[in-house]
Structure 1
Amino acid sequence: MEASSNKGLLYFTVAAVSLVTLWKLQRRQNRLGAGSQRDSVHQDEVDMQYLRSCHILRLQLSPPAQSNFRVVALLLLEDGSVVAGTNDEPSPNISLAMCAERCAFLRYRVQQCSSPVQTVYIVTDANTPVSPGTACREYMYCHHATRPTTRIVMQSKEPQSDPLCLNLSDLHPFPSIYAGLTPEEQMKFGRTLQSSIQQQVEQLQVTGLSHTQMSNLIQAAQNASQQDIRDSLHAMRYGAAVAIVDCSAGTTTGSTDPPQIYIVQAPQIKALEYGCTLDAACQLASQILVNKKARPVAVVLVDQFGIPHGLFAQARAFFVEHGFGDCMVIVTRVDSTSSQAPEKKATVQCVPARELAPFVPEFRS
């Protein structure tokens, strides 16, 4: 037991020394390069330094129990300091797994950091760079320490391999219009937008759906939101609905009947522990999967004000990873040029589900 503790202490010390060294390096670079545009080659060298530090930590860690797959995330703050995190999966209930990125941001909070995050470095045991999952994308995008332009630099298990660099906005398009707002501010903003959004929704068209079917889809989602009644836990209510086309209808020899379209709805079901809340759009999954000859045409997630939202992380993962990337999603995009929520202009549009989760890792059995 003592030997194991000493070994763990040694690993921690080595990682800590490595991070401190990089912190000093960054501070020196900040002093030398203040007020000037960094050369891209120089930036690449800096990135490789931090990625190497991530690999040092990764190789010291034992793989997590469920996936046997290590991930390390390192936050480089604008003041030059660094915060690291790793994934952990102690439970056979894999939905309770902790991702490296969120672990790092929790340490950011515990350490009471105040400097914005400049870059997030991510390394894994994979042969190719692996982007953050949809949950970590949404978490990071909504965090007060990040910006849409925050850099995400990813690398494979080979420290000399070429990294992939994207901005946070590249990974999480069509974010919630309530990102960064308190529940009270969300309610106020929703009421402000309600009238204009409803007018836009009435004019919306989706290929394959009639105007009546579109209206029924939106109404079904809003009806479902009224079942999300635990307002004391959180003020916002959400409901989802999906229009499904039954491709088996009209395929009988000699039949001229058009394919049947039916609508399924579900509410968000809040839990006292927020992480155990059942997402509204994800609860549509069983109805989508039950008929192999049916496919979803359009899906919408609305709040109690009838405002459509880009699907939350869990539903983005479901639609894209399970082959429903063509399904149209009704979303609301907010003009980000105004800093004041009530002054922002919102536009309703339809986009394929795949556009809500670009660059997702491919599933390989």
Structure 2
Amino acid sequence: MPSTPDDPPGVSYVMPVLNEADYLEAAVASIVAQDYPGPWEIVLAVGPSTDGTDEIVARLAAADDRIRTVHNPGMDIPIGLNRAIEASRHPVIVRVDAHTQLSEGYTLRGVADLTRTGAASLGGIMVATGRPGFQAAVARAYNSRFGLGGGAYHGEHAVEGPAESAYMGIMRRDVIRGVGGYDESLRRGEDWELNYRLREAGHLVWLDPLLRVTYWPRSTWPKLARQFVATGIWRGELVRRLGGRNPLRFFAPPVLVANVVVAIVFIPLHATGVFHGWWGWVLALAYVPPVLYLGLLAAAAFRRGGDLVDWLRFALATATMHLSWGVGFIVGVIRGARDAVDTSRTES
């Protein structure tokens, strides 16, 4: 039967997959449960996993012929996404990460938003969640305005309208391919960079806070630190490429890191009397920002509720995110990203 203009467009969900045995099935189940009235498919870009993910992928694909796979031997997310988009069959692309779950009605509302707004790319709000313990603390840090610096799609009070970027993204396939797809020279920050190019080409990027996505963050301190160092390095690389066209909030963590290093160097010099007199008092101003940061961190932890252990976990997770990102950013700006990899995805 021929389609009509009123038929809902087909949707291709694209998902990079690497070492996601703990989360993949829930992510796919959230897609299958969307109850979208138009045709749809899932294209998994599968990297060389070591945790049994490949067996799960094979089982899912065998059980539902709407689930297809493409190989992503290099493991890089942008390359996997481009391969999945190239293999896709439908005009609407919905990016889904294996660490996420779509809320009920996500696809239907997102596709309606594309039509209503004329946007090329749009997204909603990341709602982090975690299992009790450190992962739950990381989730609270993600959901806190203090934790991730006030980016719109992390905000508790986000307002619908034009946006700088789109979390994951519901996109028009022809437009994405028209600007060259994801930049395959990046290993992190690929969403922001793609939406930057879309905006530069005159396309609209949109935020709808009623679109909600559950995100499962890293569950251990080493993985969180490695993830944020890598993310910071690649943001530093984007600053090298795009200069001041990056938002000012991205410069806060590296400034904090530099200030902390200066304060640590100054402490023994003040204690031994090397810094003294009026200029010693002037140099003591270097201690003010770190002390203010600790105060803000304590206040943010207290506001999140819970007991002392919860506060300490939240403070550790938040400080790890800020300082790791800041260190990575400085490295990325100074020497470029080179071959930096987010080893939290590839190592246990």
- Name the TM-score class by shorter chain: under 0.3
Taking structure 1 as the reference length, the TM-score comes to 0.23
The structure whose residues are more often helix, as a share, is: 2
The structure whose residues are more often strand, as a share, is: 1
> Whose Rg is larger?
1
